[in-house]
Amino acid sequence: MIRDESIEGYVERLASGEPTPGGGATGALLLAQGVGLLAMAARFSDHEELAKRAATLASRALALSDDDEQAFARVSEAFGLPKETDADRQERSRRIQEAIRAAAVPPRDLVEASGDALRIAEDVLADCNANVLSDVGAGIGCVRGTLVAAAVTLETDLAPLQDEDASAQVSTDIREADRLTGLADDLIGRTRQRIRG
């Protein structure tokens, strides 16, 4: 499990020639780090309830890193199935579609969790100790990175999807990621303005 790896071990595995972990799992780790920073800033600003919400979300993000890695591994396995006969090709195609639909779930969950993180960030920013404003900004930047990772992962999933309902859901998720990225940019701008005074 990613959450149990050392940072160095994870980065080495990320840089290897293996297909997993990839961008989705990395996006989840960015979210965990971002909400970790928000939890710290909340504590320094005497907002323990916000800190607890952020810590819970960090744990969820770590779980999503594993979910994403496992889901993409199933996609890779499906693409590796035999395709010699018509029956093979039909089964391979079915399994690929099934795996891609399942692989879209972790990045969708990342978009939702990122929205939760940005709501926490807004609340922290509303009454924040000036000494940790840079940490709030860095945390929001991590959440923004998560949203970009989720959007490009979902766009990759969308291309081969044949199921219209699944495609429509993925398209909706991409639009939400884009909307939240705009919100993250706004919050980063507000944070920087407060730092500058």
Buried/exposed 134-152: b ≥16 CB within 10 Å, e otherwise: ebbbbbbbbbbbbbbbbbb
DSSP count for the chain of H helices, then E strands: 7, 0
- Whether residue 61 contacts residue 32, with contact meaning beta carbons closer than 8 Å, is answered with yes
Tens of pLDDT, residue by residue over 93-112, are 999 999 999 999 999 999 99
Taking only the tens place, the pLDDT of each residue in 24-75 is 999 999 999 999 999 999 999 999 999 999 999 999 999 999 999 999 999 9
Burial class (CB in 10 A: 0-12, 13-18, 19+), 115: middle
169-189 pLDDT, tens digit each = 999 999 999 999 999 999 999
Instruction: Map out the domains of the chain as residue ranges.
Output: 23-196
The closest alpha carbon to 55, from 148, 150, 124, 6, belongs to 124
Structure tokens at 110: 């990342």
User: Which CATH number describes the domain made up of 23-196?
Assistant: 1.20.120.680
